[in-house]
Amino acid sequence: MVDFQAEKSVVREFHATLEAAVGDEIIDAVSTFATADYSWRGYHPFGEITTAEAVAETFWRPLKDALRRMQRREDAFFAGTNETDDHETVWVVSMGHLMGLFDAPWLGIRPTRKLVMLRYCEFHRIADGKIAETAMYFDIPHLMVQAGQDPFPPQTGTFLVQPGPRPHDALLYGPQVPEEGRKTLALINAMISDLGQWNSGMTLEEELARTWHDDMLWWGPHGIGATYTIERYAKQHSGPFRAAFTERSKTQHRCRLAEGHYGGFFGWPNFTARHTGGFMGMPATGQAGEFRVIDIYRREGDKLVENWIFIDLLHYWKSQGVDILKRAVSL
């Protein structure tokens, strides 16, 4: 049985060391666990960063200075081999919230001196006992609304500080039965196949029912929001999204994996599409744009039942000529 215990231990030790680090120790913490050619991809405005020292100085240190006494509140943790490179590499996934006291400005967002929670999900590629590559997406607009600086018009779904999985069983620190992960990955792939065509010949709800439980929970990013049941997901996100875009490219994932009843993927970007209809309360631009997305799924039986979604909406809207972050923090 491939248990990924060594790779999981690297990430768990990194998390513990980083949480305890202050000041210059933050640079040491990231450098100790990263390879010399470390590559990090993050949510706008961070983008691609290519050294551990730069990641620490550009992202981790300013964030920890702003969110004092920051804790990682982890909801999901699992590992697996990457299907997109024929299972050559091993990745470890962590998802949850970074919680702290918002005591200093961050990215121009005004501090509240109150408790806030920054949604995050990260994929780490482990090589020779070190972290060689990371994709880390957050939900900065979700933090902004907690600080009273909501950057978006009212959303189709619901704003929530989002919970973890209903069974509270996604912290897969120990080894799992491989067959369960294979079932989860096969179901995710079937869903991707349906999602990518937009012309199945079925109604949207019929199409979704092929791979989704009727009581599905879709925990979307702020600006779109969360929604519950196939019927409401179709009306409150999937239907409006499909109506707003044309010329959707094929799906392009850099990593896709599963372990146990949990799995997910990320892309850089996942796909491109042309904005030809209104979306998120904003008029069509007619321009193509990139969607950088992380999706995490929970399988129950032979259906997907929960989905946590991170979409870099700040990057997307900037590609459409709207700098959401700059506009919101200048108000």
Domains in the chain: ranges and CATH: 5-146 (3.10.450.50), 178-329 (3.10.450.50)
Nearest to 49 by CA among 61, 59, 35, 39: 39
Nearest to 191 by CA among 178, 209, 179: 209
Question: Quick check: bond before 45 cis, omega within 30?
Answer: yes
What pLDDT, in 10s, does the model give residues 8-53? 999 999 999 999 999 999 999 999 999 999 999 999 999 999 999 9
Decide: 66 and 103 in contact? Cβ < 8 Å.
yes
Decide: 130 and 10 in contact? Cβ < 8 Å.
yes
What pLDDT, in 10s, does the model give residues 153-164? 888 888 888 999
Question: Quick check: bond before 269 cis, omega within 30?
Answer: yes
Percent of the chain with pLDDT over 90: 90
Question: Please, which residues have CB within 8 angstroms of residue 223's CB and are 6 or more apart in sequence?
Answer: 141, 151, 152, 155, 280, 313
Question: CA–CA separation, 155 vs 226, rounded Å?
Answer: 9
Mean of per-residue pLDDT scores for the chain: 95
Dihedral of CA atoms 322, 327, 328, 331 in degrees, nearest 10, equals -150
Decide: 291 and 301 in contact? Cβ < 8 Å.
no
**What pLDDT, on a 0 to 100 scale, did the predictor assign at position 196?**
61
Start-to-end Cα distance in the chain = 55
pTM, two decimal places: 0.96
Banded pLDDT at 197 (limits 50, 70, 90)? low
**What pLDDT, on a 0 to 100 scale, did the predictor assign at position 181?**
98
**What pLDDT, on a 0 to 100 scale, did the predictor assign at position 159?**
87
* Length in residues, the chain: 331
What pLDDT, in 10s, does the model give residues 126-180? 999 999 999 999 999 999 999 999 999 888 888 888 999 999 999 999 999 999 9
**What pLDDT, on a 0 to 100 scale, did the predictor assign at position 96?**
98
Nearest to 296 by CA among 262, 271, 270, 268: 262
Give the DSSP H or E segment for 8: helix 5-20
**What pLDDT, on a 0 to 100 scale, did the predictor assign at position 253?**
96
Banded pLDDT at 331 (limits 50, 70, 90)? low
**What pLDDT, on a 0 to 100 scale, did the predictor assign at position 195?**
76
For the segment 77-81, the average pLDDT, to the nearest whole number, is: 98
pLDDT for residue 184 is more than 80 = yes
pLDDT for residue 1 is more than 60 = no
